[in-house]
Amino acid sequence: MHNSELHAQLLAKFAAQYGGAPDFIAYAPGRIEVLGNHTDYNEGFVLSAAIQHGTFFAIRRGKAGLCRLTAGDLMVEDAFAAVDPGKTTVNTWANYVRGVLHGINEARGPAPVADSCFDALFFGDIPLGSGLSSSAALEMSAGLAIARLYEHSFTHAELAKIGQAAEHQFAGCKCGLLDQLSSLHGRAGRLVFTDFRTLGVKTIRLGGDVCFLMCNTHAKHALVDGEYNRRRQACEDAAAYFGKKALRDVSVDEFNARKAGLDATTAKRASHPVTENERVLRGVEALACGDLAAFGQLMFQSHESSRVDFENSCPELDTIVDAAKEIPGALGARLSGGGFGGSAVVLTTPENAGAVSRKLADAYAQKHGAPCDIRVIEPSDGAHLC
């Protein structure tokens, strides 16, 4: 059983809130994005990994005529209609589950209200706002659990799209499918390589004795404030300028030859996913050859593109990446996730993880007054019913 202590706490909280035990429990992990920043909604390529931190979702059939949902960390309950959950402006964390329920209802069609009510509680250990996609972990664990309760099945692609629609329609963030697919397809010791045009997924061995460090800056990480959506719009505008379905279809050479026709800001924004797609494919080649040094350099280059062209980094993330460049044993580093705060991911080895962590924490504290939170990340198995 993954994370038995967290699982035990979930059961205790469920019993305290509702009495008795759940009918079903699902688990979904968070994710790190290793290469492929903002390429998912541009129909490009991403290398990611599910991590050993995630969210449990416990559920049982309800009796009160409503769905009741409790956030296990707060022990606060939200209630909503089973057939038409709608959005809430009070317990906004519930919108992710409400959105998933809405999508499942649309997929399975009309059902008796009495058979649709449930009591549920979720509880996890992904730091909120850390760029590790606690929202997708909640969506995918909720989706698996609700679908099981309703005796309805979905493919991974179908469930990921339900989670994405919940983000778009209920949370107000026009995310791609990276977070959801990474959470579903994770595999221990492997990276998840996704083609976001076909949604084809395969796992790739990391090779060598390597690990990742998650460096949580606790810097502001709120993508619904419009910055994420504005960048996505710029990418769509650039694709239209090139006459392409998505920026995935624009080569680096074509981009450089014609970018002068774009306004300066749109050109900078589009440059990032165009070049990032190339970095992902080169990264796959580097892993196949066991060239971790080359892979690490691609991570550094990815962050520089985020910092300069996409402008979705921040001083806190830059401090970590700049420090990693000077620390022996740190092979590569970049921001992970949507950006604008959150976490950076650093490639290192288990042997060097302790020393690299201490040096990173010291460098961060000297610049920002307090050390950032650093923990070792293990590529782990994906979402499942427990």
Secondary structure of 254-290 in HEC code, one letter for each residue: HHHHHHHHCCHHHHHHHHHHHHHHHHHHHHHHHHHCC
Lowest mean pLDDT among 111-115, 143-147, 151-155, 311-315: 111-115
Q: Residue 2 — very low, low, confident or very high, per pLDDT cuts 50/70/90?
A: low
Instruction: Give the pLDDT mean for 282-288.
Output: 96
| Eight-state DSSP code of residue 38 | T
How much is the pLDDT for 220? Answer: 72
Encode pLDDT of 157-166 as tens digits: 999 999 999 9
pLDDT above 70 covers a percentage of the chain that reads 96
pLDDT, tens only, 307-363: 999 999 999 999 999 999 999 999 999 998 888 888 899 999 999 999 999 999 999
pLDDT band at 209 (very low <50, low <70, confident <90, very high): confident
Domain ranges of the chain: 4-31+51-192, 202-377
The answer to whether residues 55 and 7 touch, using CB atoms and an 8 Å cutoff, is no
Q: What dihedral do alpha carbons 250, 334, 173, 268 form, nearest 10°? A: -40
The arithmetic mean of pLDDT across residues 100-124, rounded, is 88
Q: What confidence tier does 298 reach under pLDDT thresholds 50, 70, 90?
A: very high
The CATH number that domain 202-377 falls under is 3.30.70.890
Q: What pLDDT sits at residue 1?
A: 39
User: What is the rounded average pLDDT of the residues 41-70?
Assistant: 94
Q: Is the pLDDT of residue 371 over 80?
A: yes
Residues of the chain with pLDDT > 90: what percent?
83
pLDDT of residue 103: 96
CA 303 to chain centre: 17
Q: What is the mean pLDDT of residues 143-170?
A: 96
* Cα dihedral across residues 296, 300, 301, 305: positive or negative: positive
Average pLDDT over residues 167-179: 88
Q: Is the pLDDT of residue 135 over 80?
A: yes
Q: For residue 113, is pLDDT > 90?
A: no
Which residues, 6 or more positions from 14, have their beta carbon under 8 angstroms from its beta carbon?
Answer: 21, 22, 58, 121
Q: Are 386 and 27 in contact (CB under 8 A)?
A: yes
Q: What is the pLDDT of residue 128?
A: 75
Residue 263 a catalytic site member: no
Catalytic residue among 40, 179, 237, 291: 179
Write the single-letter amino acid at 74: L
Helical packing angle, 178-185 and 134-149, nearest 10°: 60
Average pLDDT over residues 68-84: 95
* pLDDT at 208 exceeding the cut of 80: no
Indicate the class that CATH gives domain 4-31+51-192.
alpha beta
Torsions phi, psi for 383 (to 5 deg): -65, 150
Q: How many residues does the chain have?
A: 386
Could you tell me if 213 and 378 are in contact, meaning their C-beta atoms sit under 8 angstroms apart?
no
Tokens 């395969």 found at:
202
Tell whether the model's pLDDT for residue 195 goes beyond 50. yes
CB atoms within 10 A of CB 193: 23
Across 34-57, average pLDDT = 95
What's the pLDDT band for 224 if we cut at 50, 70, 90?
very low
Task: Using the predicted structure, report yes or no on whether residue 277 has a pLDDT greater than 50.
Answer: yes
Among the ranges given (1-10, 144-153, 376-385), the one the predictor scored with the smallest mean pLDDT: 1-10
Q: What integer pLDDT is reported at residue 221 of this predicted model?
A: 57
Dihedrals phi, psi of 269, to nearest 5 degrees: -60, -45
Q: Which two tokens stand for residue 32?
A: 């790190």
User: What's the pLDDT score for residue 114?
Assistant: 62
Average pLDDT over the chain reads 93
Predicted local confidence at residue 349, as pLDDT: 94
Q: 33-37, 51-55, 215-219, 372-376: lowest mean pLDDT where?
A: 215-219
Position 222 pLDDT exceeds 60 = no
Angstrom distances, CA of residue 214 to CA of 18, 121, 179, 257, 348: 35, 27, 16, 38, 11
Instruction: Report helix angle 264-288 to 292-305, nearest 10.
Output: 170
